[in-house]
């Protein structure tokens, strides 16, 4: 009776707290403090002998987790410390007998607790490495309490999507917008392209925004706040005619009235129980990290055991560097480029003055970058190559019409907003490289010249021969570019071409245009370079560029797939792409049956090359079989650097609090359970010691949500660097 009353009180406390400001992320621990009194005293705790039987080393914490009905399988044990130079946490999953081992902990004092589906957080226990623990899991008092720990996708899937009969000019939705366009905008262009939706902070309305007549009004006000408000307002109010505000308002109104997710997440199974997640705080409370880099994709032993480098994109010019061995964070700041004016910044995603006050930062301008570092890559020498801004918009004379440069003669370029830089950790010096074409993502080719290929280059393929640059120091001599031209006359060579939008001429080729390349993927098999293209405008798909012939091939994404974003390529030349349809799509050119050039090869020539794999998690109701997952990027592990196998594609699972790996045709979730709200924009992997088994390899990523204060912990939370390892079993140490 006493326990029932206690659970009822906890449920009432939760209902009150979780409808307050989103910053009230301390609710799980509050629930535990209120509801775990009897568990803390030992009721239902495992016998001490059971914990002692778990084998550990002096730098491990191990033991057993038990609930009211016995061992708790598939729940997380989290160990966290503030004793190191930055906050550090390590998380593991219990086996089928509730046993756990948190391995390889730095010497420090830790707080350890249990988190899992169907539970609320247990009371935090003080512990040190070398200690055995008997931990008591705390069942959730009701479904509402349990749901607060669900990944965001379970709440996001409650959002209603307009029925197909609402499109085609039959409602307030603009006539040219399809249901696929709607989902693409919401899931990977405007909304979940920058933020997770569905965590506590977004499924509720912050009290600091004010009082509103309806959820629709609240959302119209919400998207006006912040440094990048036009990127929220314009797609929702402009492209989609303002209609989404009604649907988002209905979503948060229903949740405020107590509606809960219609599906429940399964606990980790199989290999998902073998993962070890380590997180470090880095950067600061006002700035976010777009990405990080740990090694050279072509040889993941580069920079073994070394520091990882963060890319702050539009947030700041102070680039964080984490040393995983010491948990120390330092910063490297590029000097201003040769022609960077004071007025330049804070990047194209930000505005100088917010349209309306943020519930967290008011009217403060919190992003201040000039360098605009979007993406980094290691080369074979351990140098870090970066996309970053060197000067005001414009290009050098050799890029423009009238230049003797052969590339400019063929296709002059007058404007460019982001260029390249390289940082040498040995000398701690930056070198700026002026490019005629723009830059966004970048990847090294597999050729002898270490050619660096970029996206964000607009109507052209752009590259830098880094061998020539190292030998001459000349950006002009080292770079080249070419327009994207389809071989529509089918003769196998580059000819005069028609311009975009013009009818096909049987005697000419055809240049294509759109919003240009987004992801860039050099093919290790034949030297071709692949891109995702037209992510934001134009017909979306993937594009193959042949550096030898300078000819391109375009392949549109067929249904049921749509909305490509980031992608990568495997060692066999198969392209893998994150799709707004809730799939990872693969394209295998070797499966194509028809001709790949000629007048009909304009995008629909190889539907048989595509295969689609649905992401985990529930889908939106009423629109057929789907996943509400909104993956930002897919990376392929060509060298088994993570431990799941060679050529395993791994996608950011931005609504699932982690990553989704496709292993032998099945999705494996690599979830970051704490803090809730994890969202990534990129990933890579590194092999620190090829002879050390699982301990010598692992996936690296950075939290990439542009608003890190929206995750568990609220305002004051810092971005995270994340390392994920895969053990052979849950007790390996």
Q: Helix or strand or coil: residue 92?
A: strand
- Which CA distances in Å does 183 have to 190, 234, 349, 468, 650? 10, 16, 21, 44, 22
Task: Take residue 250 and report the two structure tokens written for it.
Answer: 């209905």
Q: pLDDT > 90: what percent of the chain?
A: 88
pLDDT of residue 20: 37
pLDDT tens per residue, range 466-497:
999 999 999 999 999 999 999 999 999 999 99
Query: Per-residue pLDDT for 33 more than 80?
Result: no
Instruction: Give the separation between CA 155 and CA 203, rounded to whole angstroms.
Output: 8
Average pLDDT over residues 223-242: 94
Q: Sheet harboring 552-556: ordered strands across?
A: 497-498, 509-511, 485-486, 552-556, 541-545, 529-533, 517-522
Query: Per-residue pLDDT for 36 more than 60?
Result: no
Among the candidates 98, 123, 149, a domain finishes at 149
Confidence of residue 40 (pLDDT cuts 50, 70, 90): very low
Assigned domain for 70 exists: yes
424 is in which domain, residue-wise?
Answer: 270-726
- Our CA angle for 690, 674, 683, nearest 5°, is 40
Confidence of residue 368 (pLDDT cuts 50, 70, 90): confident
Assigned domain for 172 exists: no
Q: What DSSP state is assigned to residue 711?
A: S
- Which CA distances in Å does 613 have to 28, 90, 116, 157, 667? 34, 31, 27, 19, 8
CATH number at residue 567: 2.130.10.10
Nearest to 656 by CA among 620, 682, 631, 624: 631
Contact present, 261 and 150 (Cβ < 8 Å): yes
Q: What DSSP state is assigned to residue 617?
A: S
pLDDT tens per residue, range 505-527:
999 999 999 889 999 999 999 99
Among the candidates 118, 149, 180, a domain finishes at 149
In which element (H, E) is residue 726 found?
Answer: strand 720-726
Confidence of residue 32 (pLDDT cuts 50, 70, 90): very low
Instruction: Give the separation between CA 62 and CA 732, rounded to whole angstroms.
Output: 11
Assigned domain for 63 exists: yes
What domain count does the chain have? Answer: 2
Assigned domain for 215 exists: no
Assigned domain for 653 exists: yes
Average pLDDT over residues 5-19: 35
Nearest to 183 by CA among 206, 208, 209, 157: 157
Task: Take residue 173 and report the two structure tokens written for it.
Answer: 């939705």
pLDDT tens per residue, range 153-202:
999 999 999 999 999 999 999 999 999 999 999 999 999 999 999 999 99
Contact present, 616 and 672 (Cβ < 8 Å): no
Instruction: Report the mean per-residue pLDDT for the chain.
Output: 92
Average pLDDT over residues 298-312: 98
Task: Take residue 727 and report the two structure tokens written for it.
Answer: 């053990």
Q: Give the number of other Cβ atoms within 10 Å of residue 60's Cβ.
A: 22
Instruction: Give the separation between CA 198 and CA 620, rounded to whole angstroms.
Output: 13
pLDDT tens per residue, range 681-711:
999 999 999 999 999 999 999 999 999 999 9
Whether a cis peptide bond, with omega within 30° of 0, leads into 560 is yes
- Our CA angle for 724, 730, 733, nearest 5°, is 80
pLDDT tens per residue, range 116-134:
999 999 999 999 999 999 9
**Least confident among 60-69, 346-355, 625-634:** 346-355
pLDDT of residue 351: 85
Query: Per-residue pLDDT for 352 more than 90?
Result: no
Beta-carbon contacts of residue 156 (< 8 Å; ≥ 6 apart) = 197, 198, 203, 628, 655
Whether a cis peptide bond, with omega within 30° of 0, leads into 234 is no
Phi-psi region of 614 (alpha: psi -120 to 50; beta: other; left: phi over 0): beta
Q: What share of the chain is helix, strand, coil (3-state, %, to 5)?
A: 20, 30, 55
CATH number at residue 132: 2.60.40.1120
pLDDT tens per residue, range 573-623:
999 999 999 999 999 999 999 999 999 999 999 999 999 999 999 999 999
Instruction: Give the separation between CA 64 and CA 133, rounded to whole angstroms.
Output: 7
Nearest to 242 by CA among 233, 230, 253: 233
Beta-carbon contacts of residue 296 (< 8 Å; ≥ 6 apart) = 302, 303, 377, 378, 379, 380, 444
Confidence of residue 47 (pLDDT cuts 50, 70, 90): low
Confidence of residue 335 (pLDDT cuts 50, 70, 90): confident
Strand ranges (E), 303-414: 308-311, 319-323, 328-332, 376-378, 384-388
CA 620 to chain centre: 21
Instruction: Give the separation between CA 54 and CA 273, rounded to whole angstroms.
Output: 16
Assigned domain for 212 exists: no
Give the distance between the most distant pair of CA atoms in the chain: 88
CA 202 to chain centre: 18
pLDDT of residue 339: 65
Q: pLDDT > 70: what percent of the chain?
A: 92
Scan for tokens 């120091």, then name that residue.
473
- Residue 707 half-sphere exposure, CB side, CA atoms within 13 Å? 28
Confidence of residue 679 (pLDDT cuts 50, 70, 90): very high
Assigned domain for 540 exists: yes
Confidence of residue 1 (pLDDT cuts 50, 70, 90): very low
Tell whether 141 and 274 lie within a shared domain: no
Confidence of residue 226 (pLDDT cuts 50, 70, 90): confident
pLDDT of residue 514: 87
Assigned domain for 470 exists: yes
Phi, psi of 466 (to 5 degrees): -70, -25
Beta-carbon contacts of residue 211 (< 8 Å; ≥ 6 apart) = none
Beta-carbon contacts of residue 471 (< 8 Å; ≥ 6 apart) = none
Confidence of residue 393 (pLDDT cuts 50, 70, 90): confident
pLDDT of residue 430: 95
pLDDT of residue 733: 96
Whether a cis peptide bond, with omega within 30° of 0, leads into 675 is yes
Phi, psi of 282 (to 5 degrees): -155, 175
Burial class (CB in 10 A: 0-12, 13-18, 19+), 171: middle
Nearest to 74 by CA among 95, 60, 55, 103: 95
Among the candidates 131, 149, 167, a domain finishes at 149
pLDDT of residue 681: 96
Average pLDDT over residues 275-292: 97
Task: Take residue 14 and report the two structure tokens written for it.
Answer: 């939760």
215-222 helix and 244-256 helix, angle to the nearest 10 degrees = 120
Q: Give the number of other Cβ atoms within 10 Å of residue 621's Cβ.
A: 15
Query: Per-residue pLDDT for 27 more than 60?
Result: no
pTM assigned to the model: 0.94
């Amino acid at each position: 009776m006493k326990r029932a009353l206690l659970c009822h009180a906890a449920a009432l406390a939760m209902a009150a707290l979780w409808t307050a400001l989103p910053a009230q992320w301390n609710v799980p621990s509050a629930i535990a403090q209120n509801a775990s009194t009897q568990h803390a005293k030992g009721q239902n705790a495992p016998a001490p002998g059971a914990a002692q039987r778990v084998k550990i080393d002096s730098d491990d914490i191990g033991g057993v987790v038990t609930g009211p009905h016995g061992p708790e399988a598939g729940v997380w044990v989290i160990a966290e410390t503030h004793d190191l130079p930055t906050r550090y946490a390590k998380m593991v999953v219990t086996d089928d007998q509730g046993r756990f081992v948190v391995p390889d902990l730095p010497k420090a004092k830790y707080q350890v607790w249990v988190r899992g589906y169907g539970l609320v957080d247990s009371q935090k226990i003080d512990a040190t490495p070398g200690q055995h623990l008997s931990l008591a899991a705390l069942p959730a008092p009701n479904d509402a309490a349990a749901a607060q720990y669900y990944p965001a996708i379970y709440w996001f899937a409650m959002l209603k999507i307009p029925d197909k009969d609402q499109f085609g000019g039959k409602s307030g939705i603009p006539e040219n917008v399809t249901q696929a366009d709607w989902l693409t905008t919401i899931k990977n262009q405007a909304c979940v392209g920058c933020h997770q939706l569905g965590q506590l902070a977004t499924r509720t309305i912050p009290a600091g925004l004010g009082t509103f007549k309806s959820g629709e009004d609240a959302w119209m006000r919400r998207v006006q706040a912040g440094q990048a408000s036009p990127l929220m307002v314009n797609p929702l109010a402009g492209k989609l005619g303002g209609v989404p505000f009604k649907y988002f308002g209905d979503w948060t109104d229903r949740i405020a009235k107590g509606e809960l997710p219609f599906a429940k997440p399964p606990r980790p199974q199989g290999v998902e129980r073998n993962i070890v997640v380590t997180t470090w705080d880095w950067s600061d409370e006002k700035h976010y990290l777009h990405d990080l880099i740990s090694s050279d994709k072509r040889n993941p032993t580069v920079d073994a055991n070394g520091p990882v480098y963060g890319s702050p994109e539009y947030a700041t010019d102070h680039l964080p560097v984490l040393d995983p061995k010491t948990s120390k964070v330092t910063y490297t700041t590029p000097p201003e480029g040769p022609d960077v004016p004071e007025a330049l910044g804070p990047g194209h995603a930000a505005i100088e003055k917010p349209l309306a006050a943020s519930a967290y930062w008011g009217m403060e301008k919190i992003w201040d970058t000039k360098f605009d570092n979007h993406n980094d890559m290691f080369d074979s020498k351990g140098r870090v190559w970066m996309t970053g801004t060197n000067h005001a918009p414009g290009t050098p004379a050799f890029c423009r019409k009238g230049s003797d440069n052969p590339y400019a003669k063929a296709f002059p370029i007058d404007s460019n907003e982001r260029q390249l830089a390289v940082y040498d950790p040995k000398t701690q010096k930056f070198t700026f490289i002026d490019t005629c074409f723009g830059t966004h993502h970048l990847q090294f080719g597999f050729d002898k010249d270490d050619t660096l290929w970029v996206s964000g280059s607009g109507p052209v393929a752009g590259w830098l021969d880094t061998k020539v640059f190292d030998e001459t120091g000349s950006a002009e001599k080292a770079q080249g570019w070419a327009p994207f031209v389809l071989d529509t006359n089918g003769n196998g060579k580059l000819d005069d071409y028609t311009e975009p939008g013009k009818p096909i001429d049987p005697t000419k080729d055809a240049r294509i245009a759109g919003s240009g390349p987004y992801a860039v993927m050099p093919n290790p098999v034949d030297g071709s370079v692949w891109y995702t293209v037209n992510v934001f405008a134009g017909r979306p798909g993937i594009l193959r560029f042949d550096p030898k012939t300078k000819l391109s091939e375009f392949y549109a994404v067929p249904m049921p797939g749509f909305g490509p974003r980031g992608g990568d390529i495997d060692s066999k030349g198969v392209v893998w792409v994150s799709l707004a349809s809730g799939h990872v799509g693969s394209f295998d050119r070797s499966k194509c049956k028809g001709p790949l050039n000629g007048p009909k090869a304009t995008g629909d020539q190889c539907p048989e090359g595509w295969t689609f794999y649905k992401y985990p998690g529930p889908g939106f109701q009423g629109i057929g079989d789907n996943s509400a997952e909104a993956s930002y990027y897919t990376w392929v592990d060509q060298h088994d650097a993570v431990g799941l196998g060679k050529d395993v594609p791994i996608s950011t699972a931005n609504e699932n609090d982690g990553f989704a790996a496709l292993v032998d045709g099945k999705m494996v979730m690599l979830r970051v359970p704490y803090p809730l709200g994890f969202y990534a924009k990129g990933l890579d992997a590194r092999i620190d010691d090829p002879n050390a088994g699982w301990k010598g390899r692992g996936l690296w990523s950075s939290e990439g949500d542009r608003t890190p204060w929206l995750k568990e912990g609220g305002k004051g939370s810092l971005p995270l660097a994340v390392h994920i390892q895969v053990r052979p079993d849950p007790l390996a140490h």
